[in-house]
Copies of this chain bind each other. A is one copy, B any other.
């Protein structure tokens, strides 16, 4: 690994705009400044002006690249040389694997044994070692701890981590610099790091922009927590959005409660329709999870009528043989 890379100081508190700008100044050389796209036909259909920040076109096909790099670059040389570890069934694992590859250090990704072959192949393709475990969260955590302790690895949590949160916030930072006059900023919410990072950026850059977390109705823990003002959990995870099954946490929820204006949940069938519309009208590939904010606009047309709406399209890693539409 090269010792010449610029590094990030450890974040001990909730990141502020300055922290997120510092993270961006360092990770930007490794990531894509993804394009902001628009579609006249979607605008006409929905009666508002929608701007899509295309993180599905980010490296590894998802915004998780940002948080993974931000976290990796906060470790010391000594820590990095031993290696990184994460547990993930999805894009966070790919982010950590790719970040480690970029930095020339080892990475281990613990994945449930029912993860798709294509996702495991992607992680391996970035040079990380995949360790499978049984499908429970407990098994993931125990397996991770065992290998971490044995090899002295540095663990990166997918969302309970201020560096990850600051990294995810760099997408909104680029977005609001590309398009500064939005009325709304919409992002999906799962564990909450993207929504936290985005809301910190939005609220410090503009007092006017409304930040809305978007969630499938089937896993609307964030919506219920937000209006109850305390953390509520999902009883089931019966949604096609496999990237949105996590619960908001004690780290992320207070930030969401403070910064976010609304959380809106939507039906599964609207999510599928939104996904199909994005594919057909925009010629880009997005995951189910990415399609939730557009579904929110579709189910609330009147509310967004005539407004400038920014949507973060979070990722595009789908199995092309298993489309839901």
Contacts and interface: CB of A to CB of B under 8 A. Distances in A.
A264 to B, nearest CB: 26
A286 B35 CA distance: 17
Interface string A297-325: 00000000000000000001100100101
A72 B81 CA distance: 61
B57 A37 contact: yes
A282 B61 CA distance: 7
A97 interface: no
Nearest to A61: B283
A280 to B, nearest CB: 7
Given A37-B57, A59-B40, A320-B323, A283 B284 contact: yes
Contact of A57 (B59, B282, B316, B323): B282
Interface string A89-133: 000000000000000000000000000000000000100000000
Contacts of A284: 57, 283-285
A227 interface: no
A320 B40 contact: no
Interface in A54-76: 56-57, 59, 61
A38 to B, nearest CB: 8
Interface residues of A, number: 24
B35 A283 contact: no
Nearest to A320: B279
Contacts of A35: 35, 37
A37 B61 CA distance: 13
Interface string A8-44: 0000000000000000000000001001011011000
Contact of A285 (B32, B61, B283): B283
Which of A56, A59, A280, A316 has the most C-beta atoms of chain B within 10 angstroms of its own C-beta?
Answer: A280
Contacts of A279: 285, 320
A137 to B, nearest CB: 28
A283 B56 contact: yes
26 contacts: A32-B37, A32-B38, A35-B35, A35-B37, A37-B57, A40-B59, A41-B125, A56-B283, A57-B282, A57-B283, A57-B284, A61-B283, A276-B320, A279-B285, A279-B320, A280-B320, A283-B284, A283-B285, A283-B286, A283-B316, A283-B317, A284-B284, A284-B285, A285-B285, A320-B323, A320-B325
| The 3 residue pairs across chains A and B that have the minimum distance between CB atoms | A283-B316, A35-B35, A283-B285
Interface of A: 32, 35, 37-38, 40-41, 56-57, 59, 61, 125, 276, 279-280, 282-286, 316-317, 320, 323, 325
